[in-house]
Structure 1
């Protein structure tokens, strides 16, 4: 998993509440078990018209936000079914940080497991960041995980909270498999001892 330390990038404003996982990645795209290739279908029903052409009104189709790496969203982001394809699609598009007032628990947890930093902030701070994001591609924000701060394009700084273990995993690029592999030596030692004491197993 890619490490997350400090991110400076374009923030896209998406001030909709209750964006569920089916809006993030519709059910017809859940057939794959690959984590790549889903970015093109992120927010599919909002991004594309019925004929497959891009909806020019949708924020991520606008030139200023095509390369967004931060998403400022409305309340209760990631609600709905517990599909891990939702953070896969967000990450594959190139977004590494989602900021909202609240997240659905399963989506929130899945973000950390896939190298995405979800940040929950009070409404007034999200409103401030939303307004800053509306300035377009010249307004770049910086998310500093080590110092737990967000810096707006005007230099205003906001602090955020994050669980220390999850912070460690993101900064070290450790998903569940990576965490297990950290114990590889102990696992190998246990298996060697087990095969000697129970050779019939």
Structure 2
């Protein structure tokens, strides 16, 4: 369950430090010309054996953690290459938020620009949440974005911070393109002023010659 104010649902612990974007979305799933079909590739080598059968030791393959909405990750989550497909794959799989103590910088801002919540908490707080959601009986979390707090099934609360721009984008249902389009009048005014002051910079079409 989610809306523009919160994310609520099953949380899966994935306490793997330095889980990089190559592991989150392996290279063989980057061959498409659009964003579709990435859910299959998400964490493929963790979810599937070499012969393609689901790994029984992966929580994401178990009934208790089906329909996962939140990943509780390890330190430096999403490090490595800059592939945005890692964010898209998480979202297509149904994940709406990640909680970790630190992130790869490019992944963090790719997540923000695509409205995937990347919540930062202290490592001891992440450890407490990981322990709680490791029990299927208490594996649900609520992330209250409006009030910037994570709540566990047992009633624990953990405050987190967000950059004001990221918080506003999430609460208003905007990705980075939508946020930019909110400034369209200012962009158009700047463009008009720019060409008025610098008409020489505009590239004009070349005249068409009738000769050979």
Q: Does the pair score TM above 0.5?
A: yes
Asked if 1:114 corresponds to 2:114, the answer is yes
Structure 2 match to 1:35: 35
Structure 1, unaligned runs of 5 or more: none
Deviation of residue 53 (structure 1)?
Answer: 1.0
**Superposition pairs of residues 47-196 of structure 1, within 5 angstroms:** 47-136=47-136, 139-188=139-188
Offset at residue 3 of structure 1 (A): 6.2
- 1:129 positional shift: 0.6
Post-superposition offset of 1:141:
0.9
- Considering Cα pairs closer than 8 Å and 6+ residues apart, tell me whether 1 or 2 has the greater RCO: 1
Structure 2 residue matching 1:155: 3-state secondary structure: coil
* CA shift in 2, pair 1:87/1:192, >3 Å: same
Structure 2 portions without partners, runs of 5+: 205-212
Task: Please tell me whether the aligned partners of residues 72 and 100 of structure 1 are also in contact (alpha carbons under 8 angstroms).
Answer: yes
Provide the rounded CA distance (Å) in 1 between the counterparts of 2:74 and 2:92.
21
Match of 2:208 in 1: none
CA contact (8 A) 2:12 2:134 kept: yes
Taking structure 1 as the reference length, what is the TM-score of the superposition?
0.90
Conserved? CA contact 1:149–1:159, under 8 Å: yes
For the residue of structure 2 that corresponds to 1:55, the secondary structure is coil
Counterpart contact for 1:8–1:140, Cα < 8 Å:
yes
Q: Aligned in 2, Cα 1:138/1:129: closer, same or farther, shift over 3 Å? A: closer
Q: Is the 8 A contact 2:12 2:139 kept in 1?
A: no
Work out the number of aligned pairs and report it.
200
* Cα separation, 2, equivalents of 1:162 and 1:196: 39
CA distance in 1: counterparts of 2:170 and 2:99, whole angstroms: 16
From the CA coordinates, give the structure whose radius of gyration is larger. 2
Q: CA 1:108 to 1:200, structure 2 compared with 1: closer, same or farther past 3 Å?
A: closer
Distance (Å, rounded) in 1 between the aligned partners of 2:195 and 2:26:
47
Structure 1 Cα separation of the partners of residues 164 and 24 of structure 2:
28
Cα distance in 2 for partners of 1:137, 1:85 equals 32
Describe the superposition over 1:45-96 as per-residue Cα deviations: whole angstroms up to 9, x where unpaired: 1111111111111111111112110000111110111110000101110111
